[in-house]
Amino acid sequence: MRFRHKVAAGLATLVLPLAGLVGLASPAPAADSAQAAGVTAGFTKSSDWGTGFGGQWTIKNSGTTAISSWTVEWDFPSGTSVTSAWDADVTSSGNHWTAKNKSYNGTLAPGASVSFGFNGAGSGNPSNCTLNGGSCDGTTVPGDAAPSAPGTPTASGVTDTSVKISWSAATDDKGVKNYDVLRDGKAVATVTGTSYTDTGLTAGSDYSYSVQARDTADQTGPVSAAVAVHTTGGSTTPPPAGGKVKLGYFTDWGIYARNYNVKNLVTSGSAAKITHINYAFGNITGGKCAIGDSYADYDKAFTADQAVNGVADTWDQPLRGNFNQLRELKAKYPNLKVIWSFGGWTWSGGFADAAKDPAGFAQSCYDLVNDPRWADVFDGIDIDWEYPNDCGLTCDTSGPEAFKNVMAALRAKFGSGRLVTAAVSADGSNGGKIDSADYAGAAQYVDWYNVMTYDFFGAWDAQGPTAPHSPLTSYSGIPKAGFTTADAMAKYKAAGVPASKLLIGIGFYGRGWTGVTQDAPGGTATGPAAGTYEQGIEDYKVLKSSCPVTGTVAGTAYAHCGGNWWSYDTPSTIAGKMSWAKSQGLGGAFFWEFSGDTSDGELVNAISSNL
């Protein structure tokens, strides 16, 4: 697709708090060095930027006796240090740090508290806290450290609805009391042993488990590494009415200028009328799958009015961004499947390196899709390689077998329980892009192909001739033979690709020229028509009113208004294309992309109701 490019967000990732309370409440000595009950010290990280952090200690007098001075001491792991401090005099001896009150903030009356802060280098947390020589934890002695991380859990006894999680014990100088079991980052149980059976799960679903130890002082240690679990049963593809796939693309960059969020799929009614979502795009770099936009994908905090569940994101929740919103959407629509699409027009150049080591590429994609933070969000992977052994934004020379080899490696790694799909060319011309790669040989490894039956013609040919960008069939005067939906599908089927593995593509946008005087296709132009985000392209929701349909040709619509000429699909032409797709035995339809539709999803409805 020519306009599938990565749009720069122009936003910086927010620096947010990443760690909670470390030092716990404890008794502390009074001003005359006698012990004063109820004086405590606690630590928080107020911010974290990876190579450093902001820290804050708070001393609170919850007792009945005033104190007139305080000294807080702690240990940092090697590599972590204080670089600057305020409201306290901070010194160190090796990894041991001491903070004493200033002249103006040493006295604490009952009920009062005082804080001092610092900037730190490194990533460690304080341990072995003492306050005025006593413990910072009221139930422990000075020097009590938090427990270690338990071993990485293992999964056994996986069924449709349950799994047993086991791990090796953590260590602690005073003894481990129990363990918190975390599913998808949230505690689901606290147990005294080193195993737990989780029940009530959903068949055919993905979960992530980790464990955290607690010592006898109720201090929590670091969270273990996670294990991904996929329950048995379920169905890879939900059984939609008529058995057809109805898939739409959701773009990561749509949340910026377009202000199109996952919640819009709910408010428009579209989520209830589709079976699958392709999330676009992940990057392909260095022969591996990689994150496309980390801020949009998993960091952006959505407000309550933007969130699918109506609850605002918080700084400390394990997952934010579009991934969490997709998780919420799937909770609302349990049969909906989400596929992570990699590549696209801009990032397809990375597939050349991927083709050199298909197994290594597949492993990298599997690891990323199944990252414990979002393993439950995605039901498979989609490859959008534009184009194998041919030219798109760049030219690929990987050879005719490269695409087949990559898809075979992905299927071998992801197994039969996950979806493996691909967006493919619709160039049905003789010697065209479909002839450049072994799509028929690769078909055995994919669940379906999204045949990109749009962008056949457009204002990259600035002087025209004007032509519909998504013709269903040929017509007299078409600029290039074979550039139609029917020609592309016929070519794939003749090569041996089953019709049931071919999806027809619909563009929720139009392509247009300016400087056009002729109503019918075939006119001359002076350049691309103006568009909201890019010249020569505009959303259907805009065009339906700004440049209404003049006529139809080859199963799609065109419009001539003023000096502009546009082509785009409407509910009526989509109905005709869906009827044709059914007559051809195709597996369903897909579209690019949700934000081009009207606020009430009239194009999605046209696909759903006619397919």
Tokens read off for 609: 């109701």
Annotated active-site residue in 73, 386, 538, 593: 386
Q: What is the DSSP letter of 499?
A: G
Alpha-carbon span 110 to 30, nearest angstrom: 11
Tokens read off for 262: 């996952």
Alpha-carbon span 355 to 405, nearest angstrom: 7
Cβ contact 462:521 at 8 Å: no
Alpha-carbon span 570 to 567, nearest angstrom: 10
Per DSSP, the three-state class of 402 is helix
Give the distance between the most distant pair of CA atoms in the chain: 100
Alpha-carbon span 205 to 232, nearest angstrom: 8
Enclosing H/E stretch for 212: strand 206-215
Tokens read off for 485: 């939906």
Q: Whose CA is closest to 26, among 91, 72, 66?
A: 72
Alpha-carbon span 418 to 413, nearest angstrom: 10
CA separation (Å) from 492 to 345, 403, 441, 582? 22, 15, 11, 16
Which amino acid belongs to residue 74? W
**Among this protein's residues, is 73 annotated catalytic?**
no
Cβ contact 595:540 at 8 Å: no
Cβ contact 557:570 at 8 Å: yes
The catalytic site residues sit at 386
